[in-house]
Chain A
């Protein structure tokens, strides 16, 4: 039995996964902007296409807002062929650097966890 206020192993695992997803998401956004700027709908669709990354596409916008305030992403308006101008998101220098650092750390972390998980099998 689980006392009130305690989390079941299942809840704990879900919480961990959602924390990991949230933490990684901002770097996925930065990674998508690495090769050039994108407008909001395009960016969000690409994230949504990656399985298991996003539950609600709309949650990317609060994140983008914070990334912009942190100075890792900036926006600029560009003319569009199919309507009014669009806001494009792109990486700043600080953003590229943050992405580089994270990629490095992520590889180490992934390899370490993978190494142990494989060993346990």
Chain B
């Protein structure tokens, strides 16, 4: 492995680890931080500070542990993100539960839009929220029902119905807990 490839490997590995550590932040925010760290390293190379792979490792050590950067990002953005907990989040929760049954399809879709445009939930929460509420859940249940009706007889219909009722509620509770975990003390 030549020097440039060795340096690239160190840098790419570091940036990947930072990106993973920042996964709790809104995506645009974490991408921005990772990109600017990448620019920092590139500038160090152009300025002749990083010549060898050892230099690259030293630079990365100086930048600090991905966890330290993530902690900093979390505390620098925590307050702002908390400030966004409001109408949008409450609307999303209502539409994804009661709204989905009251106004089929449209209510759920509107809830999904609110869910994904909110900064109060991270990507994982949003994916869970999308898949486990009516709409997303209907899809999963159809698959489960088809799969199980091929094998065991009896029950899939009832089980599906039960899941359809329980899953959105469980999901809403989960999203609420996640919201509360990040919300400011009132």
Binding site for B on A (CB under 8 A): 22, 39-42, 44, 48, 55-59, 61-66, 69, 80, 82-84, 86-87
Contact = CB atoms under 8 A, between A and B. Distances in A.
12 contacts: A40-B36, A40-B40, A44-B40, A55-B64, A58-B37, A58-B40, A58-B62, A59-B69, A59-B72, A65-B32, A66-B77, A69-B80
Given A48-B62, A56-B63, A66-B77, A61 B42 contact: no
Nearest to A44: B40
The bracket for how many chain B residues form the interface is 20 to 34
Contacts of A56: 62-65, 68-69, 72
Interface of A is mostly: helix
Contacts of A66: 76-77, 80
B18 interface: yes
A37 B33 CA distance: 19
Contacts of A40: 36, 39-40, 43
B76 A62 contact: yes
B2 interface: no
B73 interface: yes
B64 A59 contact: yes
A44 B36 CA distance: 12
Contacts of B75: 22
Given A56-B68, A57-B63, A61-B69, A87 B76 contact: no
B42 A83 contact: yes
A55 B65 CA distance: 10
B65 A61 contact: no
A115 to B, nearest CB: 32
Contacts of B64: 55-59
Given A56-B63, A59-B69, A82 B39 contact: no
Contacts of A44: 40
Nearest to A69: B80
7 A-B pairs closest in CB distance: A56-B64, A58-B63, A62-B73, A41-B43, A59-B72, A83-B46, A58-B64
